[in-house]
Structure 1
Amino acid sequence: MRRGDDRYRGEPEEGVTTRHAFSFGGHYDPENTRFALLLACNEERLEPGAGFGEHPHHDTEILTWVVEGELEHRDATGTVSRLGPGGFQRLSAGSGVRHVERNAGAGPLRFLQMWLHPDTFGGPPEYVSAPETPSAGLRVLTSGERGLRQRAAALHVGRTTRAESVPLPAAPYRYVHVVRGRVRLEGEELTAGDAARITGGEELAARSGGAAEFLVWEMRAEPSYG
């Protein structure tokens, strides 16, 4: 279990607060560089008008989940999109892409951004987004069968509206991040911002006492750099 308050706080920028789950940017911890295929999981909080100026990426799968506010994405391919709470986007950087992310709303913006190691390198960049689709239970957001350039991974969103149990997908590596509410895993309670790194493919379920939202990475491999 990794508590939200224990995340490393990135160097402050004007209007931007970042908390890292893994080594990222100027923060390096040799014992915490990744978990299976997951390379980054950043909690970003942006004040109105604040954001990240144009910057490059390559050979990385970048997945973003908006918690509150309005996120604007612009990239060098001419793509412009705005996402509200529950909105999801995937940017496959491929051989290279430059993009901008900023708070396009009148209130605070909070989003979770995750970076994944791909199994396909190079190629043209690709951007896809989807607005919120409220539904209870566990739903696939992206996977190798749905355009993600990593066949050994899938990202799910879980939602509960009452006290219930949601079975997690079976996989050798699973990463659970609680977005809202409270969730219990193996008797441990996780609240918003907390995460669990799970190894082993045994059956597990996330149990909530009421309304909750959480993201689940299902990963069936570790990175191959050969």
Structure 2
Amino acid sequence: MMDVRRAGERYPGGDPATGIESWHAFSFGPHYDPGNLRFGAIIACNEERLAPGAGFGEHPHSHTEIVTWVVEGELTHCDSTGHETKVRPGDVQRLSSAAGVRHAERNDGPSPLTFVQMWLAPRDPGGEPSYEIVPGIADSTPYAVAEAGAMLHIRRLAAGERTAVPDGAYVYVHVVRGAVRLGEERLAAGDAARITAAVGLETVALTPAEVLLWEMSG
């Protein structure tokens, strides 16, 4: 079964007056929707746009696996465990907040910053927080978030190129840029599909495209 959610259906958020624009695919903050709390392990998929100098001040997280994919610009991250890094397009960043951690995110660069941030629920809450950044991850290298029973596949496709969608109990497909055909559905930038019991599906790029695919166990 495939449930397609369009970019225009996401909940707006952030604080545009301070240079922060957010778009939420799941129930988030004041946009409470009991029918849209999670899919598989995913509890949030937010597109964040920060103007130069804008950012999120230090704030807490717990019991969440936070994975960030930068679309354009450069993200400055720092947290209460002592990490301070720059995250650029092509890098995968993960913060495992475990029993509790504080972090801040900002755009210290001269250009606008856009990133997609995905939150996953761990199977076993608690533990010690951890941090990882994988620079320039390749398409052929899936990124495992074992704590949530999930695997991230990144696909950068030329127009006309095809790629298999992982078979799985739950698969979440998010189009970062471009347009693709997924089964009989056409998806554009910002669109997403939630697929239950995925078997034998493929994605075809209608234009040059970048797609994030989450493969999750039941």
TM bucket, shorter chain:
over 0.9
Which of 26, 44, 50 is 1:46 aligned to? Answer: 50
> Structure 1 residues 8 and 36, CA, compared in 2 at 3 Å: closer, same or farther?
same
Secondary structure of the structure 2 residue equivalent to 1:64: strand
The CA deviation at 1:139 is 3.5
Runs of 4+ displaced beyond 3 Å: none
The alignment's C-alpha RMSD in Å is: 1.3
Secondary structure of the structure 1 residue equivalent to 2:28: coil
Which of 95, 100, 107 is 1:96 aligned to? Answer: 100
2:144 is matched with which residue? 142
Partners of 2:176 and 2:14 in 1: how far apart? 23
Partners of 1:59 and 1:6 in 2: how far apart? 27
Secondary structure of the structure 2 residue equivalent to 1:25: coil
> In the alignment, does 2:171 pair up with 1:174?
yes
The CA deviation at 1:143 is 3.3
Please tell me whether the aligned partners of residues 166 and 199 of structure 2 are also in contact (alpha carbons under 8 angstroms). Answer: no
Partners of 1:201 and 1:156 in 2: how far apart? 15
Instruction: State percent identity of aligned pairs.
Output: 52
Aligned pairs for 1:18-37 within 5 A: 18-37=22-41
Calculate the TM-score normalised by the size of structure 1. Answer: 0.90
Please tell me whether the aligned partners of residues 64 and 89 of structure 1 are also in contact (alpha carbons under 8 angstroms). Answer: yes
Aligned pairs for 1:1-226 within 5 A: 1-13=4-16, 14-135=18-139, 139-144=141-146, 149-150=147-148, 152-221=149-218
Please tell me whether the aligned partners of residues 173 and 218 of structure 1 are also in contact (alpha carbons under 8 angstroms). Answer: yes
Count of aligned pairs = 214
Partners of 2:69 and 2:144 in 1: how far apart? 12
Partners of 2:198 and 2:172 in 1: how far apart? 12
Please tell me whether the aligned partners of residues 139 and 158 of structure 1 are also in contact (alpha carbons under 8 angstroms). Answer: no
Q: Which runs of 5+ in 1 are unaligned?
A: 222-226
Q: Which runs of 5+ in 2 are unaligned?
A: none
The CA deviation at 1:134 is 4.8
